[in-house]
Amino acid sequence: MLPFADHSPLPNTRSCISRPSLCLPSTSCIFAMMYVLSCILLSLSGASAINYYEAQELGPCPHVLPSEDVTLEQLKGKWHLSVVVLDATKDDIEENSVCVNGEVFLHNATHMKHVWDMYTPHRQELPVGTIELSMDVLRPGVWTVQTPLGSQMSGFLFGYDLDLAMAAFCGWQNGQQVHLFTAAVTREGVLTAALRLKMSSILLDNGYEPSTTKLVVWNKC
């Protein structure tokens, strides 16, 4: 079973979406894209997020088996971000004292939109950051994801149950397709022992190794 570490929350609820674009000559646009996504999806401090993606030698995109039998109808509705899997790093990346809730909206049979809100647990009515991701279905379980900065990444749905969905997201670094992050979302905000066991089993079955990954966990949102 993968080690789900308990991290001490860091008090940081500023909106990352207000930060300027980082697509400068000295910084790859993939890092700018991942900076914005990290701020909302990973709920990390801005410095930790951008330092991670600039310094980390990202691993190859996981060879997961896409869930071809899952329809978009099954994915629509509200979800909670519960776990993010990163390539192992020496940096001290901790989860924040915020929660990330999202909703999947369907436009048609091949297009969906994800809207994710970041908020503090006691002020759910006032999101401190929002990000929208537009996704086109290339084939069942395989998506092209448009980010707010105009970049693209690939998404692979490989773990699905009625109360759980897992997807790997990959981009390009130095001409190679690399693993950016893997996200696990749940219908309920509390990450139970049964869900942890189910997630661990799915990750292990798809080649994820505890020694080469770092997990960021949201236990109660």
pLDDT over 60 (residue 22): no
Q: Is residue 10 part of a domain?
A: no
Percent of residues, the chain, with pLDDT higher than 70 = 67
pLDDT at 28: 39
**Mean predicted lDDT score pLDDT of the chain:** 74
Q: How confident is the model at residue 124 (pLDDT cuts 50, 70, 90)?
A: low
Q: Is residue 6 part of a domain?
A: no
Higher pLDDT, 82 or 17: 82
Domain coverage including residue 49: 22-217
Q: Is 158 exposed, middle or buried (0-12, 13-18, 19+ CB in 10 A)?
A: buried
Backbone angles phi, psi at 157, to 5 degrees: -80, 120
User: Where residue 137 sits, what CATH number does that domain have?
Assistant: 2.40.128.20
Counting Cα atoms < 13 Å in the Cβ hemisphere of 139 gives 4
Name the domain count of the chain: 1
- For residue 32, the one-letter residue type is A
Q: Is residue 27 part of a domain?
A: yes
Angle, CA 12 vertex, CA 93 and CA 3 arms, to 5°: 30
pLDDT at 219: 75
pLDDT at 126: 72
Q: Is residue 172 part of a domain?
A: yes
Q: Is residue 199 part of a domain?
A: yes
Rounded Cα distance between 199 and 157, Å, is: 13
Rounded Cα distance between 83 and 81, Å, is: 6
Q: Is residue 136 part of a domain?
A: yes
pLDDT at 79: 94
